[in-house]
């Protein structure tokens, strides 16, 4: 699968700099990532319970193309095919998530043996292929039964998640050593319960802050349960980070940047790694909530010892607080300012940088800066980039996808990781988002993030040029290290 332009990407730079593939330490985890609802399909198969996404997608107008995850890319029935793609690229790690309602259809109590059997088979197939599984416990498909009982704004949901984590670990922990508790609680809380763009589609700013806190309590309970069962297991939380810049030096813009940085970057990280929420964010949130949901002992519970901080990185924000901060462009993952509770007078400004098909600005240096900042602020924890990638409108022609923009995006972000390593950041892995095109939430199948193109009619997979390039890079990086 070697392609012609690989030397430019993987070979020595014109300036005599080291080849990209040689800039990573031995033992580095090279992976790709997916999540259950986005790829599995089989939503009514083998006793899987219903999730909030099954309910949400059935409501007219929620998903731009009216689609759903009923079939997705059929990964539930295609373990062999998906693992073969991972293996063919030479990856040594694969990140996927467990569907909570597939394992616990009612959200708590009864464990569905067929659900466990599926993930057990996937783990075995990966290990057989020499690939380390990185398992995410929560990637947004909350059992509908728990949403019916109040969802994440209710504390009980976090307690049930602790049970689910223990059950998942009991079934898979003999083989799975890398556990990411919760993925992007910012999205689950604020897109799910404040702007309503994601399931369950509620628009309740105060409840969204309770949801955010309970997602962190859930993280604490899960990390605790896993470490109790296996002190050698590596625990992590997946957070989505964006450098946030003020549009100008004007105090209103500087304050807008502080507020968005606070909710997006510091709120969850300070809680997980410092055991406290940032005071300035609590002050901002105080406009809409009294925090009565925070119980004594919660912050200690959330502040579990973590081995790895999982960094999801896509873009950067430039913000203004001027003129009431009307939203002027969609550099943000959402056009809706109501995704930032108590900050709805902030505007997102485009700066002229190239954008992906999501309208997200391409800013690889922001990844280096983010990794350095995280290491400076939370020095005791290793870092892994567990999502990074770009949507572009791909075309399949004669079995080929010439996605040079995505190839450039991945290459430049991998290089940004190498720059961070050069500056002393303890970065241990990079996972491209995503292994293959899949269901992109409220965008349905209209946005393609994969290294592998999926024909959504037939389910057939084709390596894109970016996937071929990434495979070349990884094989070269790994063979360099093995040769030492």
Residues facing 245 on adjacent strands: 318
Q: What share of the chain is helix, strand, coil (3-state, %, to 5)?
A: 45, 15, 40
Tell which positions 438-477 bind ligand IFM, by CB under 6 A. 440, 449
Q: Decide: 458 and 73 in contact? Cβ < 8 Å.
A: no
Reply yes or no on whether 106 is catalytic: no
35 binds ligand IFM (CB under 6 A): yes
Q: How far is CA 453 from the centre of its chain?
A: 20
356 binds ligand IFM (CB under 6 A): no
Whether omega before 66 lies within 30 degrees of 0, making that bond cis, reads no
Binding mask 310-349 for ligand IFM (x = CB under 6 A): --x-------------------------------------
Binding mask 415-434 for ligand IFM (x = CB under 6 A): ------------------x-
Closer residue to ligand IFM, CB minimum distance, 298 or 440: 440
Residues touching ligand IFM, count (CB under 6 A) = 8
Query: H/E element holding 311?
Result: strand 308-313
Residues 6+ apart with CB under 8 A from 85: 435, 436, 452, 461, 463
Q: Of 40, 147, 197, 387, which is the active-site residue?
A: 387
**What whole-number distance in Å separates Cα of residue 356 and Cα of residue 342?**
28
394 binds ligand IFM (CB under 6 A): no
Provide the token pair at 478.
Answer: 């790994």
Provide the token pair at 97.
Answer: 């998530």
Provide the token pair at 154.
Answer: 């209710």
Closer residue to ligand IFM, CB minimum distance, 90 or 450: 450
Tell which positions 225-284 bind ligand IFM, by CB under 6 A. none
Q: How far is the CB of 456 from ligand IFM (least distance, A)?
A: 15
User: Residue from 6, 40, 82, 184 that binds ligand IFM (CB under 6 A)?
Assistant: 184
Q: How far is the CB of 409 from ligand IFM (least distance, A)?
A: 13
Written as one string, the DSSP assignment of 458-481 is T--EEE-HHHHHHHHHHHHHHHHH
User: Residue from 197, 337, 387, 472 that binds ligand IFM (CB under 6 A)?
Assistant: 387
40 binds ligand IFM (CB under 6 A): no
161 binds ligand IFM (CB under 6 A): no
Reply yes or no on whether 484 is catalytic: no
Q: Of 184, 361, 405, 440, which is the active-site residue?
A: 184
Written as one string, the DSSP assignment of 408-442 is HHHHHHHHHHHHHHHTT--EEEEEEE-SB----GG
Binding site for ligand IFM (CB under 6 A): 35, 38, 184, 312, 387, 433, 440, 449
Q: Which residues are catalytic?
A: 184, 387
């Amino acid at each position: 699968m070697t392609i012609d332009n690989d030397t430019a990407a993987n070979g020595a730079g014109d300036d005599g700099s080291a080849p990209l593939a040689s800039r990573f330490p031995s033992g580095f985890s090279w992976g790709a990532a997916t999540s259950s609802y986005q790829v599995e399909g089989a939503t009514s198969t083998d006793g899987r319970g219903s999730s909030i996404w099954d309910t949400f997608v059935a409501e007219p107008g929620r998903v731009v193309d009216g689609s759903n995850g009923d079939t997705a890319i059929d990964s539930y029935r295609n373990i062999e095919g998906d693992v073969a793609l991972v293996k063919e690229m030479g990856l040594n790690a694969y990140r996927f998530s467990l569907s909570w309602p597939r394992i616990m259809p009612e959200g708590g109590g009864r464990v569905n043996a067929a659900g466990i059997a599926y993930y057990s088979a996937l783990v075995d197939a990966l290990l057989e292929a020499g690939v380390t599984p990185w398992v995410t416990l929560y990637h947004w498909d909350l059992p509908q039964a728990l949403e019916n009982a109040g969802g994440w704004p209710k504390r009980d949901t976090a307690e049930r998640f602790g049970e689910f984590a223990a059950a998942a670990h009991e079934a898979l922990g003999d083989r799975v050593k890398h556990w990411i508790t919760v993925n992007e609680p910012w999205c689950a809380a604020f897109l799910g319960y404040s702007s309503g763009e994601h399931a369950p589609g509620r628009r309740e700013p105060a409840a969204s802050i309770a949801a955010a806190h309970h997602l962190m309590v859930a993280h604490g309970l899960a990390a605790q349960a896993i470490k109790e069962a296996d002190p050698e297991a590596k625990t992590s939380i997946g957070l989505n980070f964006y450098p946030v810049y003020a549009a100008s030096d004007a105090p209103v813009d500087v304050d807008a940047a502080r507020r968005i940085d606070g909710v997006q970057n510091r709120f969850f990280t300070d809680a997980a790694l410092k055991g406290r929420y940032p005071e300035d964010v609590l002050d901002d949130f105080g406009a809409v909530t009294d925090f009565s949901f925070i119980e004594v002992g919660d912050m200690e519970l959330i502040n579990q010892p973590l081995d790895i901080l999982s960094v999801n990185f896509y873009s950067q924000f430039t913000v203004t607080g001027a003129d009431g901060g009307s939203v002027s462009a969609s550099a943000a993952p959402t056009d809706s300012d109501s995704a930032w509770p108590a900050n709805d007078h902030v505007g997102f400004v485009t700066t002229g940088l190239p954008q992906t098909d999501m309208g997200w600005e391409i800013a690889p240096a922001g990844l280096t800066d983010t990794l350095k900042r995280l290491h400076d602020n939370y020095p005791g924890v290793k870092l892994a980039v567990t999502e990074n990638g770009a949507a572009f409108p791909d075309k399949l022609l004669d079995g080929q996808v010439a996605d040079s923009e995505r190839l450039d995006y991945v290459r430049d972000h991998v290089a940004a990781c190498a720059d961070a390593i050069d500056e002393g950041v303890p970065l241990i892995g990079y996972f491209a988002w995503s292994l293959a095109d899949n269901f992109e939430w409220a965008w349905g199948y209209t946005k393609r993030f994969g290294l592998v193109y999926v024909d959504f009619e037939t389910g057939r997979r084709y390596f894109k040029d970016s996937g071929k390039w990434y495979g070349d890079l990884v094989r070269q990086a790994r063979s360099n290290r093995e040769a030492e």
